[in-house]
Chains A and B, each alone.
Chain A
Amino acid sequence: MPMPDQNLTDNTMSSRREPVRSPEPVPLKLHVPEPAVRPGGKPDFSNIRIPRAGQVDRPNVDVDAEAIRDLAFSVIRVLNRDGEAVGPWAGALSESELLEGLRHMMTLRAFDARMQMAQRQGKTSFYMQHMGEEAVSCAFRKALLPGDMNFPTYRQAGLLIAGGYSLVEMACQIYSNTHDPLKGRQLPVMYSSREHGFFSISGNLATQYIQAVGWAMASAIKNDTKIAVAWIGDGATAESDFHAALVFASTYRAPVVLNIVNNQWAISTFQGIARGGSGTFAARGLGFGIPSLRVDGNDYLAVHAVAKWACERARRNLGPTLIEHVTYRVGAHSTSDDPAGYRPKTESDAWPLGDPVIRLKNHLIVRGAWSEERHKQTEAEILDTVISAQKEAESYGTLHSEQRPTARDMFEGVFAEMPPHLRRQRQEAGV
C-alpha cells in the first residue's frame, strides 16, 4: 500500500491561465471539468495531494476556524505505509476497540456482498454497497454517544452495524418482507432507526443535511447535551440544502458535525463537477467560519480521531465542524450502475489511500494484536453470521414472495389519524 508524498497541483484548476493582454474582447469558452482519465486510460491520481501520516497538527477543540485554514487543504492521516499509527491524532482507541472496528468493517463488507448477490438473484429490487468506504461510517459511529442523531445518506450503513443494529432487520428492510420495520414502504437501503440514532433516509439528496442542523438547534434550544451528525456525498454538496445547512449551522453555532464523504464519484460524474474551482470540499466550510478538516477516509484511526475532535467541539457548545472524508467509491454506484462506462476498470486498485479493511488489519498485525490466520478465521465467522441473518430474514419473505406487508399497511401512517378520503380509498382497494 505505497503512499508516496505528492505535491502536484490539481489539474482541474485553471492555475495556468494567461493574463489577458488585449483590451479587445476574446471569444468566450465554456469550461467543463473532465476527470483525468476515462475508460481505457491508465488510472491517474496524481492530482490528489496526500501528506505523510502524522504530519498534520491536532489543534485544540476551541480553535478558531481561521487559525486552522490549512487543515481544509491537507489530509489528516494516522496510519503510515508501514501500518504504524503515528502523529498527534493517534492513540485515541484501545486495541480491543480497534479489533471491534475491524469486525464492523468486515461485517459491512460481507453484508454488502451478500445483499448485492441477493439483488442479482431477484430477492430484492435494488442495493447500494459501501466497498472502500467502510471506515468512514464505522469509525465515526464510535465517537457518538447514546441519544446523538445521525442524518445519513444511503451509503452510511456502517453507522447501523457499528451501532449494534440487527442485520436481520437490515435484510428485512431490503427484502420488504413481513418483518420489514418500514412495512415495505421504502426502497431497499433507505433504513430508519430512531433507537439507533439513525434518521430516516430520504431518496432526495441533501435534504437531511439542513435537517441535522435543525435537530442540533433543537437540542440547544432544550439545553440538551445531544449532538447531531450530518452526512452528504461529494456530488450532493452542489444541492442548495448543503449551502443552507452551512449558513444555519454557522449562524446559530449549532452542535452538529457536517460530514462530506468525498468518494470521488457522483454516479458517473467525477468530483470536479461538484467541486469546481474550489481547492477542496472542506474549503467550502471556511467561508462560513466553520472549522473544516480533511481526513483520510480509508484510515479508521484518523476518521475516529477527527470525529471525536468534532463531536467534542459540538458537545462543548463550540459549534459546528465540517469534515471532508477523502475516500474512493470502489463499487458501482448501485446495482443499477456499471462504472465501466465512465471510469477505468482498475481505477480503484490505483487509489492511493488503499483499502480501509486491509490497512486496519495490517496495523493490528504490526501491533501484534492480529494475524493473517485470525483474520481469515474471523472472515469466515462473520460470513456465517451474515448468512444466518440473511436466512432468517428470508424466512420472513423476499420482495416477490407471498410474504410481504399487507396492502392495508400501505394506507397507514400517511397521517397520525387516517382522514376520511384515505379511509374511502382503503375501502375501495378492498383492504
Chain B
Amino acid sequence: MPRRTMIEAIRDAMDVMMSRDDDVVVFGEDVGYFGGVFRATQGLQAKYGTSRCFDTPISELGIVGIAVGMAAYGLKPCVEIQFADYMYPAYDQIVSEAARLRYRSNGQFTCPLVVRMPTGGGIFGGQTHSQSPEALFTHVCGIKTVVPSNPRDAKGLLISAIEDPDPVIFLEPKRLYNGPFDGHHDRPVTPWSKHDLGEVEDGHFAIPLGSAAIRRQGQAVTILAYGTMVHVAQTAAAEADIDAEIIDLRTLLPLDLDTIETSVKKTGRCVIVHEATLTSGFGAELCALVQTRCFYHLEAPIVRVAGWDTPYPHAQEWDYFPGPARIGRALIETLEA
C-alpha cells in the first residue's frame, strides 16, 4: 500500500474529490499556482484549471463569504484558511451564515462547505501560528468539527467532509503534516513512511464523521485525545507503563459518545488531553458528558491536561505544550486517586 505524509493524503483527498465531482472547487491564499504554503494543493491548479483551484485576495471573510455564496449556488467549495489563528475575520461568516443557512431557510439553501485550517502548536509558531480554536467551532450549532491525527484518517475524513451536505471545519494539526509527533522535541522526528497509519490507499475511501478510533486497548484509564495529542498520549502512557485505552476522537462534533461511554464505564477513569487552553475548552464539554453519563462508574475525578490559559508563547514552547511528562503525571494522579 502506498505511504503518504499527511500533506500528501490531504492533497490526494482533494484530488480524488475534484476528479469525481465537477462541483468541488478549491481556493484560498497562495493555494493556486504556488500550491499552498504547506503544499497541500500542489498540482491541483495545473490539473483542474484556474476556475477549479485559484488564489484569493488576503481576506478570510472574503474567502468564506464567497464560499457560502458558491455553496448556496450548488458548488462544494473546499477552502483554506492559511492558519487557524487567522480564521477570526471569517468567524461571522462561519457562525452567522454557513452554520445557520439550512436552518434559517428551512432547507431552501444549504452550505456544503469545507474550511481547512492548519492548527496546533509544537512548531515554535508563537501566538499566531499555534492556536487550537476548536472550541470556538464546537460551540456553534450547525457545523461539524473534524481533527485528524494521521494521513489515512486525514484523507478518509476530508473526503467525508467534502461529501457532507453541511459545513465542516477541518482542522489539520500542522505539527503532524510530515510525521507523527509524540512531544519529545529533543528527539529526531520519524516520518510517516515509518508509521502504520502512513499507509493510505489510492482512490476514493471515506471515514465517516462522528466515529472515534481506539488507538490502544486498555483497562486502567481512558484517555480522550485528538490531533497531535493522540501521539503524545500514546507515548506518555507507554513511558509511564500504564494500561491506558486511548481514544482518538477524530470528529469533535458530532461526537462518538458511545465509544467514549463504553470505554470509561470499563476503565472507571478518564483523562482528557488537548493543546487548546483549558478554560471553556472542548475538554470541558467532554468532562461534563463523561461525568453525566458515567458517574456511577467513575473511580476518580476526571482530569484535564491542556494548554495553559495564556496566549501561545514562543520561547516557552515546551513549557506550554502538554508533553508526555505532564500527561504521564496526570495518568498517575488519576490511578492513585
Complex contacts, B210 vs chain A, CB 8 Å: 419-420
The reply to whether the CB of A298 lies closer than 8 angstroms to some CB of chain B is no
The CA-CA distance from A151 to B105 in the complex, in Å, is 13
| Stretch with Cβ within 8 A of A (4 or more), from B63-71, B172-180, B229-237, B302-310 | B63-71
A195 to B61, CA, bound (A): 27
Given A415-B142, A416-B166, CB of A421 within 8 Å of CB of B257: yes
How far is A216 from B75 in the complex, measured between Cα atoms in Å? 12
User: Within 8 Å of chain A (Cβ to Cβ): is B316?
Assistant: no
- The answer to the question of A176 belonging to the interface, with a C-beta cut-off of 8 Å to chain B, is no
Bound CA span A220–B52, Å: 11
Q: A68: CB under 8 A from chain B?
A: no
Whether a CB of chain A sits under 8 angstroms from the CB of B110 is: yes
* A247 touching B59, Cβ below 8 Å: yes
Contacts of A415 in B (CB 8 A): 102, 142, 144, 166
Question: Are A240 and B104 closer than 8 Å at their CB atoms?
Answer: no
Q: Indicate if the CB atoms of B70 and A215 lie closer than 8 Å.
A: yes
Q: Does A2 contact B (CB under 8 A)?
A: no
Judged by a CB distance under 8 angstroms, whether A78 is at the interface is no
Interface size on B, residues (CB 8 A): 45
On whether the beta carbons of B102 and A413 are closer than 8 Å, the reply is: yes
Q: Cα distance A198–B227 when bound, in Å?
A: 41
A214 and B61 CA atoms in complex are apart in Å by: 12
Give the distance in Å from the alpha carbon of A421 to the alpha carbon of B288 in the complex.
13
| Contact residues of A between 394 and 426, Cβ < 8 Å to B | 413-416, 419-421
In the assembled complex, B203 has its CB within 8 A of some CB on chain A: no
Q: With A185-B103, A211-B66, A214-B68 as known contacts, state yes or no: A241 contacts B61, CB within 8 Å.
A: yes
Q: Which of B92-100, B216-224, B318-326 faces chain A?
A: B92-100
- Which B residues lie within 8 Å of A202 (CB)? 96-97, 100, 104
Stretch among A186-194, A264-272, A344-352, A365-373 lining the B interface: A186-194
Chain A residues whose C-beta falls within 8 Å of the C-beta of B72 in the assembled complex: 149, 199, 211, 214-215
Residue of chain B at shortest CB distance from A198: B108
Q: Which one, A220, A248, A416, A421, contacts B255 given CB within 8 A?
A: A421
Given contacts A202-B104, A207-B97, A421-B255, contact A247 B66 (CB under 8 A): no
Is B254's CB under 8 angstroms from A421's CB? Answer: yes
Interface residues as binary, B258-285 with A (CB distance below 8 Å gives 1, 0 otherwise): 0000000000000000000000000000
Contacts A207-B97, A414-B141 given; does A214 touch B105 at CB 8 Å: no
Write out, one digit per residue, whether chain A residues 245-275 have a CB within 8 A of any chain B CB (1) or not (0). Answer: 1011001000000000000000000000000
8 Å CB contact of A215 from B73, B89, B103: B73
> Is B253's beta carbon under 8 Å from chain A?
yes
Say yes or no for B311: interface residue by CB 8 A criterion: no
Chain B residues whose CB sits within 8 angstroms of the CB of A218 once the complex forms: 69-70, 73-75
Number of chain A residues close to chain B: CB under 8 A: 46
CB <8 Å contact, A204 and B96: yes
Judge whether A182 and B93 touch: CB under 8 Å: no
| Bound-complex Cα distance A207 to B100 (A) | 13
The answer to whether B96 and A211 have CB atoms under 8 Å apart is: no
A217/B66 in contact, CB under 8 A: yes
Q: Which of B5-27 contact A (CB under 8 A)?
A: 25
A212 within 8 A of B: yes
Pairwise interchain contact B57-A200, C-beta atoms closer than 8 A: no
Query: Is A228 an interface residue, CB under 8 A from the partner?
Result: yes
Docked complex Cα distance between A124 and B96 (Å): 24
Contact yes or no, B65 A210, CB < 8 A: yes
Q: Which residues of A contact B51 (CB under 8 A)?
A: 220-221
Q: B109, A419: Cβ atoms under 8 Å? A: no
Complexed CA–CA distance, A213 and B59 (Å): 14
26 contacts between A and B (CB under 8 A): A149-B73, A182-B106, A183-B106, A190-B104, A192-B105, A194-B105, A210-B65, A211-B68, A213-B65, A214-B70, A214-B72, A218-B74, A228-B69, A241-B93, A244-B61, A247-B59, A248-B57, A413-B102, A413-B103, A413-B107, A416-B110, A416-B164, A420-B254, A420-B257, A421-B253, A421-B254
Top 8 closest A-B pairs, CB basis?
Answer: A214-B69, A214-B66, A210-B65, A211-B69, A200-B105, A244-B62, A218-B73, A419-B254
